Amino acid sequence: MTASLHDFCARRGDLTAPCRLCGAREFNICQALDPAQQDKLFALATRLQLGKRDRLFAAGEPASHVYNLTEGTVALSRSLADGRRQILGFLLPGDFLGLEVGEAHRCDAETLTEAKVCRFERAAFDGFLKDNPEVALRLLKIASSDLAQAARHEVLLGRKTATERIASFLLDLRDRSGARHLRTQPLALPMTRSEIADYTGLTIETVSRVLGRLKSGKVIELIGASAVRVLDDARLERMSGSS
Amino acid sequence: MTASLHDFCARRGDLTAPCRLCGAREFNICQALDPAQQDKLFALATRLQLGKRDRLFAAGEPASHVYNLTEGTVALSRSLADGRRQILGFLLPGDFLGLEVGEAHRCDAETLTEAKVCRFERAAFDGFLKDNPEVALRLLKIASSDLAQAARHEVLLGRKTATERIASFLLDLRDRSGARHLRTQPLALPMTRSEIADYTGLTIETVSRVLGRLKSGKVIELIGASAVRVLDDARLERMSGSS
DNA sequence: CGGTGGATTGAGGTAGATCAACATGCGTGG
DNA sequence: CCACGCATGTTGATCTACCTCAATCCACCG
């Protein structure tokens, strides 16, 4: 089941994305770079294969690298001293990690699945940025959309009910997974209930109960514990509270 | 009382800040710009005086301007259809508004006090950025620190108790107000209880009760409703939960 | 000096947390 | 390929932190 689901997703082509820095020259960051600079950037990249639950970096560590996720899922989180954890977001193929300007990482980054990343030395990357300041404009756009995502997440955490949080989470994940046009197809949930809980600011029990209620209300269908099919799109959207 | 508090703060010199784009050439954004470009930027600026509760822009409106706050306090917020509001942050002199790259504003911006801003036409500002791409690097730094602030706020909203939220809020406001060295001096609270509630994800009643408890525990002193004096710094920090 | 909007305080209700038991499914080794 | 064992997920019962509703209180302003 899981295997065939994975196959399906891979076929669908949204479980992987070319690196937006070195591998996707026609897109995003590298747009309008001259070929010599593109080659220079390409030479800076190291491709890494990561396992499940691998830690890319932890909060406080020196930010020595910049990454672009090309395959798999990564969670960014921050924890309090007593262990309470808040997941800030789930990264999907194409997303950047560790872009923060500054000395140290501000959060933990951990893979949820096996994953592939394109890694760049910080110093070399900064040097490249200095030579190609127009690239900074594209990074600024990325930071800006991260900021917009964070704002939506703050609303979710501060003002939404449990049901609205779960509905918003599912819709956001679906939209970002690029499966919008495939309404009847299952959406993979690479994260555990505990991770959904830490993203939504709830407990695992509440996450489980809300998903159960959505299921018995015929809004979604649960396919095992790690995939969902959205049955009633409009209702899920109405339940998400997002105006 | 309020007047003398205001006088004190003004004397202290942190209720105003020169515009980081056009008025503070030695700092921040403009560092390393050549004089001709600096003059060009300066020419783009319009200074505005705003009243209390003035709306600078609303979510969804075309982002036609970029602003730098030089005096007063501004709140950024997003609201749900039914009126529930989440305040994303309080801006102090020196902070930027409306930097988001994209067509439309993603949140509402409203002054809490009388305020002064330096305003730039979006198109002209973008043109300036294109001519001075190194400035984008400085904007990237600002976006990055905004992102770090958002992450801390997500932890507050998702995982902290009411007391921890209020303690964190007070400490953050104090640190950003630049009054760290003035431990015994009152901290101005230009926002109402309702705005503190919408920032912390609580209700006004809970905000009031928590402040009352901090007061009777001799951790803070309330000076009217719009100023606090932190009496026991270490304890407040311990209560904030931020490791 | 009275009115008005914000703030405080109290009583009671509830969404979601906590605690606990049980189910399920997945990976491992036989 | 199946059986076992553990991690993950579900479900139920109860508890509680915070919300809601309601009644003052208070500070500021004309």
pLDDT for A18:
78
Residue B23 shares a structural domain with residue B104: yes
In a domain, A154, yes or no: no
Q: A156 in a domain, yes or no?
A: no
State the CB neighbour count (10 A cutoff) for residue A4. Answer: 8
Distance from CA of B152 to the nearest CA of A (A): 8
In 3-state terms chain A splits into helix, strand, coil percentages (rounded to 5) of: 45, 20, 35
Which stretches does DSSP call E strand in B143-210?
A: 187-188
Q: Say which of B130, B139, B154 has its CB closest to residue A150.
A: B154
Residue B161: its pLDDT value, please? 98
| Disruptive mutation site among B82, B90, B101 for chain A (greatest number of A CBs within 10 Å) | B101
φ, ψ of residue B38 in degrees (nearest 5):
-60, -45
The pLDDT value recorded for residue A32 is 59
Q: For residue range A138-180, what is the model confidence (pLDDT) as tens digits? A: 899 999 999 999 999 999 999 999 999 999 999 999 999 876 5
Chain A nearest C-alpha distance from B220 (Å): 24
B104–A contact, CB cutoff 8 A: no
Q: At what angle do helices B133-159 and B122-131 cross, to 10 degrees?
A: 120
pLDDT digits (tens, 9 = 90+) for B98-111: 988 888 999 999 99
Summarised one tens digit per residue, pLDDT across range B200-230 is 999 999 999 999 999 999 999 999 999 999 9
Chain B residues 51-90 with a CB less than 8 Å from chain A: 78-82, 84-86, 88
Q: Please give the pLDDT value at position A102.
A: 82
Q: Does B238 touch chain A (CB under 8 A)?
A: no
pLDDT score, position B13: 39
Give distance CA A87 / C1' D6 (Å). 26
Give me the residue from A151, A152, A159 closest to B84, CB to CB: A159
Asked if pLDDT for residue B140 goes beyond 70, the answer is yes
Residues A32 and A92 in one domain: yes
Same domain, A50 and A116: yes
Strand A85-91 and strand A74-79: the pairing is: antiparallel
* Nearest nt to the A212 alpha carbon by C1': D10
Please, are residues A174 and A91 in contact by the beta-carbon 8 Å criterion? no
Residue B144 placed within a domain: yes
Using alpha carbons only, what angle is made at residue A105 by residues B90 and B32, rounded to the nearest 5 degrees?
A: 70
Q: Is residue A181 part of a domain?
A: yes
Residue A239 has pLDDT above 70, yes or no: yes
Beta-carbon contacts of B201 under 8 Å, excluding residues fewer than 6 positions away, are A157, A158, A159, B86, B156, B157, B165
Cβ of B158 within 8 Å of Cβ of A157? The answer is: yes
> Hey, are the CB atoms on A159 and B102 less than 8 Å from each other?
no
Rounded Cα gap, residues A231 and A220, in angstroms:
5
pLDDT at B8: 36
Q: How far is the CA of B49 from the C1' of D11 (A)?
A: 59
Residues A142, A137: Cα–Cα separation, whole Å: 9
Please tell me whether residues A208 and A124 are part of one structural domain.
no
Q: Which of B97, B146, B154, B207 to mutate to test the interface with A (most CBs of A within 10 A)?
A: B154
Note whether B12 and B125 are same-domain residues. Answer: yes
pLDDT of B110: 97
Instruction: Give the rounded percent of residues in chain A with a pLDDT score beyond 70.
Output: 87
Residue A15: band (very low, low, confident or very high) from pLDDT cuts 50, 70, 90:
low
Helices within A13-132 (DSSP H only): 35-44, 122-131
In A177-232, alpha helices (H): 193-200, 204-216
Interface test with A, best of B28, B82, B86, B240 (most A CBs within 10 A): B86
Residues of chain B contacting A130 with CB distance shorter than 8 Å? 137
Highest mean pLDDT among A97-106, A169-178, A193-202: A193-202
Q: What is the pLDDT of residues A72-83, one digit of tens each?
A: 999 999 999 999
Q: Judged by CB atoms within 8 Å, which residues 151-170 of A form the interface with B?
A: 151-155, 157-160
What mean pLDDT is predicted for residues A78-89?
Answer: 97
Domain final residue pick, A119, A149, A179: A149
Q: Is the model more confident about B40 or about A217?
A: A217
Residue A68, pLDDT above cutoff 90: yes
**One domain, residues B86 and B106:** yes
**Tens of pLDDT along A119-138?**
999 999 999 988 888 888 88
B128 shares a domain with B13: yes
Greater pLDDT, B191 or A135 = B191
Residue A195 sits in a domain of what CATH number?
Answer: 1.10.10.10
Domain that holds residue B118: 3-149
Specify the number of domains making up chain A. Answer: 2
The residue ranking higher by pLDDT, A237 or A183, is: A237
Q: Please, what is the average pLDDT of chain A?
A: 87
